[in-house]
Structure 1
């Protein structure tokens, strides 16, 4: 169904004016405004033919009014596209009532039941205006309700020329039935669309709260540890005159804590940027070896302390088309996990080879591995509790999630293969240099 609507261009029309800076609630109002405009255009075209065929009184004048309304509704779509949302909504709520008013005044009277549409248009402002625009909502509601009451209690049946289709009572009843069914169908469509998007808003709120809780958890626990360690060692170094060996040991611990804090903050910021769609992607042709070496240098102290040995099989000629910051973050996270979950004196194997339009980079460790359940959660982007490393290192649970998102942003991919106590193999694909 989505593909069919996409071919017709309906989905494009529905999303006119919907931009990244709009919130979900505002986007829904713009989409509903577009939906009402599209339905109004089709309805006016349809009734122009019906009135001409049925011989409605003054149908030539009514068709001129229909053409005017169609042009104004096209203008509403244009204004949404130009992000002039308030003006487009105000024009819309007044324009949609125009043809009904003239139909019920100079053509059909109360015979066709067209004035029933005023009841439908009385609820339209509730779904396209925000609460802050409540006076507009009230005004449009009262205006359309007043029109309905006037025609219902003070209106007169239309006068039709003998020999035309509309002169027959059965045809008039068909128009009345069509008006009732159309009103109910349009209201159901608006409500369904609105409820669908309310459900999206609720899910977004749940996701936002989950992200907030995760950020607070990282700030309260994962950053507290390394910063506390740095404070302790700095206090020790400033309050005493340590021996050379103790000084070197303390500085090494400070460097490890600094690196850990940096990685946690970088992962957190990258994750937040990606979730809020504010990631800046600046690709270029880059040498993989240079980026990988920088990542290994940052983690060299942690690897050395655990006796982890790198074994690489990567050509100096391998170049990739990527964003340097994103790719560096991905490599650091993967290598950091490999060190963290490897047993002391273990090995981490790194190799790369071109496959089709991508460079496939494989990282294999001999560490604790992951359960099937944990692996599924990671690949599905679900929240999970990060375990401790083999010597008590703490993680945020964001590393691989950030990697998946950053690789996807660059047109790449990540695959993980793991078994408990047998190690983990991470395979990433990044587009080759162009």
Structure 2
């Protein structure tokens, strides 16, 4: 069914005017406006044909009204693409109500049951207008209610020429049945669509609350430790005059805490940017060896403190097409994890080779490895609880998730091979320069 909708272009029409800047709720209202407009266009075309076949009174004049209505509804769709949503909604609710009143007054009267549509039009503003435009909701609701009551209590049946299909009561009843079924079907359709998207909004709210809790958790735990360490050593340095060795030790601890705080904040910001779809990817031709060297330089002290040797086998000629900031974040995260989970005096090997149109970069360590459950969560892009490093280092659990998303943004990928107590191999792919 979904494939059929895509092939017919219906989904594209429903999403006219929907942009990333709109909130989910606003997007739903724009989609519902488009849905009502499309249903209106379809109905007017359908009734234009029926009126000619059935010999409705003044059908030429009524079909002229239908042409104007269709033109205005197409204009509604156009206004949505121009982001003029309020004007689009106003024209929509006027266009679907006033012409029907004219058609019913001039031709059908209470015959055919066309005035039942006013009951449907009375609830349309509740799903396409936000609460802030409540006066418009009230106005459109009352207008359509008055139209319905007028025909119900003061309307007269239409007069149809003898010899036409509409002259027969059975045909009039068929039009009445069609009106009732159409009204109920249209109401069910756009209410179902509305409920479907409300469900999406609720899920989005749950996701946002989950992210908020995650952010607070990171701020409360992962930043509290390194900031507390910095505060302790700064207090020690300001309250006494330490010996040279003590001073060097304190400064190293401060630098380590500063690096940890920086990495936590950078991961957090990258994660939030990606989740809110505000990540900007600007691919450029970059030297792979240079980017990896920069990542090693930043984390060299962290590796030296554990006695870990970092060995690279990368040609200086390798060029990749990627976003420098995103790629630097990915490389830094993977290397930081390799250092964190490697045993003291261990080794990390970084290799790169060109495969087809991608550069494949492999980070291999002989550390504590990962369980199958953890690997499965990483592959599926699910959140997981970070393990402590080999000397008690704490992580956020965001690093690899951020890496996966940032690589996807650039057309790359990430794979993980690992066994507990045997080490981990992380393989990433980046597009090569053509």
TM range (shorter): over 0.9
> How far is 1:6 from its partner?
2.5
* Aligned equivalent of 1:304: 304
How far off its partner does 1:203 sit?
0.6
Distance in 1, Cα, partners of 2:433 & 2:356: 12
Per-residue CA distance 1:163-192 (angstroms, 9 max, x = gap)? 111112221111111111111110011111
Per-residue deviation, 1:2: 3.0
CA contact (8 A) 1:119 1:145 kept: yes
| TM-score, normalised via structure 1 length | 0.98
Where 1:112 maps in the other structure, the secondary structure is helix
Structure 2: distance between partners of 1:414 and 1:196: 34
- Partner residue in 1 for 2:430: 430
In 2, Cα distance between equivalents of 1:371 and 1:387: 11
Pairing 1:180-191 to 2, within 5 Å after superposition:
180-191=180-191
- Identify the range of structure 1 (375-384 vs 253-262) with the bigger mean alpha-carbon deviation: 375-384
CA shift for structure 1 position 8: 2.4
Residue 262 (str. 1) matches residue 262 (str. 2): yes
The answer on 1:89 being equivalent to 2:89 is yes
SS of alignment partner, residue 415 of structure 1: strand
Q: RMSD of aligned C-alpha atoms?
A: 1.1
Tell me the SS of whatever aligns to 2:383.
coil
Which portions of structure 1, spanning 4 or more consecutive aligned residues, are displaced by more than 4 angstroms? Answer: none
Q: Distance in 2 between matches of 1:373 and 1:156?
A: 73
Shift of 1:311: 2.1
How do 1:261-280 and structure 2 match up within 5 A?
261-280=261-280
Query: Cα offset for 1:415?
Result: 1.2
**For the residues of structure 1 that align with 2:52 and 2:99, how far apart are their CA atoms?**
15
Note the alpha carbon deviations across 1:262-286, whole angstroms, 9 max, x for none. 1011001111111111112111000
Matches within 5 A, 1:386-401: 386-401=386-401
State whether residues 103 and 114 of structure 1, in contact with CA within 8 Å, keep that contact through their aligned partners in structure 2. no
**Number of residue pairs matched?**
434
Aligned residue in 2 for 1:156? 156
| 1:194-273 correspondence runs (5 A) | 194-273=194-273
Supply the distance in 1 between the matched residues of 2:65 and 2:157 (Cα, whole angstroms). 21
CA distance in 2, matches of 1:99, 1:241: 88
SS at match of 2:429: strand
Q: CA deviation at 1:99?
A: 3.0
Give the superposition deviation at 1:380.
Answer: 2.0
The alignment partner of 1:312 has SS state of strand
SS at match of 1:97: helix
- In structure 2, stretches of 5+ residues that fail to align are none
Kept in 1, the 8 Å contact 2:222–2:395? The answer is yes
Moved more, 344-353 or 320-329: 344-353
Which residue is 2:24 aligned to? 24
Aligned partner of residue 311 in structure 1, secondary structure: strand
Q: For residue 39 of structure 1, report the CA deviation from its aligned partner.
A: 0.9
Asked if the contact 2:383/2:401 (under 8 Å) is kept, the reply is: no
Structure 1 gap ranges (5+): none
Could you report, residue by residue, the CA deviation over 1:110-147 in whole angstroms, capped at 9, with x for unpaired residues? 11111111110000000000111111111111111111
The 3-state SS of whatever aligns with 2:112 is coil
- When structure 1 is superposed on structure 2, of 234-243 and 188-197 the one drifting more is 234-243
Question: Is the CA contact (8 Å cut-off) linking 1:62 and 1:99 kept in structure 2?
Answer: no
Counterpart in 1 of 2:341? 341
Whether contact under 8 Å (1:48, 1:63) holds in the other structure is: yes
State the distance in 2 between where 1:151 and 1:419 align.
77
What's the secondary structure of 2:430's corresponding residue? strand
Aligned to 1:36: 36
Q: CA offset at residue 237 of structure 1?
A: 1.6
Q: Is the 8 A contact 1:413 1:428 kept in 2?
A: yes
> Secondary structure, in 3 states, of the residue corresponding to 1:50?
helix
Distance 2:356 2:158 in 1: 72
